[in-house]
């Protein structure tokens, strides 16, 4: 029996578990709902490795409860649920899964963009409710043009770039804002870097691809929404709190912007009585950006490889705090 123990906080693809079982004793949380913070602390108490996802809160209290922890590996790119600074202070490498889910997430993002622009879900809801009595009218159900429009991408990382490529395929003009300019990408994909205020006031579609950090919480609030075109459409594929939901409700209700497509909300799940759900010019998917079979399998495999390396004292393939390796001499 192995002396290494891993707690996996949700069922994942079996082939990912197969990568870990040869050298560690695995315990997999069987429920669909996540373990409570207390249950997570109990499971982590004698674990050397944790395989987690975005719903698990990995804070200082959890780390205090896990004195034997050698590595954390998360099945996601965003780590806003992890106290990364505290893990780093304790020398615990934290793995994540950038890149492998970017294309699938951008596919979904572009789906939301098309849906919000051409009112696909809105039409579906409407006809299922028995409203389609007039077969066709030249002035009904008009939507926004996608081809030829300006797509403004905020956060030009892996997913932002995939959105840009899809936009190019639809003959869109692409402008972007990111902390750092990307001259090579600008040349290769014909992107124009602009300041956020210019992006917000000129884009027909504003698509968010930032990590959630204290700095990006409510990055889009009342002032930003008011500065957008009244015909603009907002897409949020990042994290719910990047957009102020109260301001978004007013913006959509009062017509400051035309429509929105969200894959993420604040909170998640969005309560059934949330005022946003009363709006017709909004389409929401339940945080399924990366949820294609291949993308999720590849992501789980990468997370398992990260944990396998981390728990055995080797460098992870994708580590969000590689500075821990300096202390370990790796």
Please say whether the beta carbons of 154 and 199 come within 8 A.
yes
How far is residue 317's CA from residue 305's CA, in Å, rounded to a whole number?
7
Q: Quick one: 93 or 157, whose CB is closer to ligand NAP?
A: 157
CA distances, 193 to each of 147, 181, 198, 250 (Å) = 20, 7, 10, 29
Q: What is the 3-state secondary structure (H, E, C) of 251-294?
A: HHHHCCCCEEEECCCCCCCCCCCCHHHHCCCEEECCCCCCCCHH
How far is residue 158's CA from residue 147's CA, in Å, rounded to a whole number?
23
Residue 283 found at the interface with ligand NAP (CB under 6 A)? no
Residue 320 found at the interface with ligand NAP (CB under 6 A)? no
Is 177 designated active site?
no
Residue 100 found at the interface with ligand NAP (CB under 6 A)? no
Query: Which residue in the list 119, 166, 239, 296 is annotated as catalytic?
Result: 239
How far is residue 312's CA from residue 262's CA, in Å, rounded to a whole number?
39
User: Which of 73, 81, 105, 265 is the binder for ligand NAP (CB under 6 A)?
Assistant: 105
Taking CB under 6 A as the rule, which mask of x and - marks residues 254-273 in contact with ligand NAP?
---------xx---------
Is 287 designated active site?
yes
Q: Between residue 212 and residue 251, which ones bind ligand NAP under the rule CB under 6 A?
A: 212, 215-216, 237-239
> HSE (CB half, 13 Å, CA atoms) of 222?
4
Residue 157 found at the interface with ligand NAP (CB under 6 A)? yes
Q: Least distance (Å) from ligand NAP to the CB of residue 201?
A: 17
Is 215 designated active site?
no
Residue 133 found at the interface with ligand NAP (CB under 6 A)? no
Q: Quick one: 6 or 238, whose CB is closer to ligand NAP?
A: 238
Written as one string, the DSSP assignment of 158-206 is: HHHHHHHHHHHHTT-EEEEE-SS--HHHHHHHTEEE--HHHHHHH-SEE
How far is residue 320's CA from residue 164's CA, in Å, rounded to a whole number?
24
Residue 184 found at the interface with ligand NAP (CB under 6 A)? no
How far is residue 308's CA from residue 300's CA, in Å, rounded to a whole number?
12
Q: Quick one: 292 or 312, whose CB is closer to ligand NAP?
A: 292
Residue 102 found at the interface with ligand NAP (CB under 6 A)? yes
Query: Which residue in the list 119, 287, 296, 305 is annotated as catalytic?
Result: 287
Q: Which residues are catalytic?
A: 239, 268, 287
Residues that bind ligand NAP (CB under 6 A): 77-78, 98, 101-102, 105, 155-160, 178-180, 209-212, 215-216, 237-239, 263-264, 287, 289-290
């Amino acid at each position: 029996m192995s002396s290494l123990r891993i707690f996996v906080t949700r069922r994942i693809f079996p082939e990912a578990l197969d990568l870990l079982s040869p050298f560690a004793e695995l315990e997999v949380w069987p429920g669909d709902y996540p373990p409570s913070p207390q249950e997570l602390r109990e499971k982590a108490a004698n674990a050397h490795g944790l395989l987690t996802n975005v719903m698990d809160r990995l804070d200082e209290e959890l780390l205090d409860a896990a004195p034997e922890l050698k590595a954390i590996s998360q099945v996601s790119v965003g780590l806003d649920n992890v106290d990364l600074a505290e893990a780093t202070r304790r020398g615990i490498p934290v793995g994540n899964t950038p890149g492998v889910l970017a294309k699938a997430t951008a596919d979904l993002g572009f789906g939301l963009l098309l849906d919000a622009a051409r009112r696909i879900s809105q039409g579906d809801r409407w006809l299922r409710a028995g409203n389609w009595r007039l077969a066709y009218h030249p002035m009904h159900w008009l939507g926004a043009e996608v081809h030829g429009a300006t797509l403004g991408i905020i956060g030009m990382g892996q997913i932002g770039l995939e959105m840009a490529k899809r936009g190019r395929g639809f003959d869109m003009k692409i402008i972007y804002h990111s902390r750092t300019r990307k001259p090579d990408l600008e040349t290769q994909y014909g992107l124009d870097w602009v300041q956020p205020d210019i992006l917000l006031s000129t884009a027909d579609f504003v698509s968010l691809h930032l990590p959630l950090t204290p700095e990006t919480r409510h990055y889009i609030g009342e002032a930003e929404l008011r500065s957008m075109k009244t015909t603009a459409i907002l897409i949020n594929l990042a994290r719910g709190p990047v957009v102020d939901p109260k301001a978004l409700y007013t913006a959509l209700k009062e017509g400051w912007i035309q429509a929105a497509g969200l894959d993420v909300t604040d909170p998640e799940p969005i309560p059934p009585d949330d005022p946003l759900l009363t709006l017709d010019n909004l389409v929401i998917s339940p945080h399924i950006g990366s949820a294609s079979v291949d993308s999720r399998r590849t992501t789980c495999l990468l997370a398992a490889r990260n944990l396998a390396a981390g728990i055995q004292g080797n460098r992870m393939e994708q580590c969000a705090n590689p500075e821990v390796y300096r202390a370990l001499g790796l």
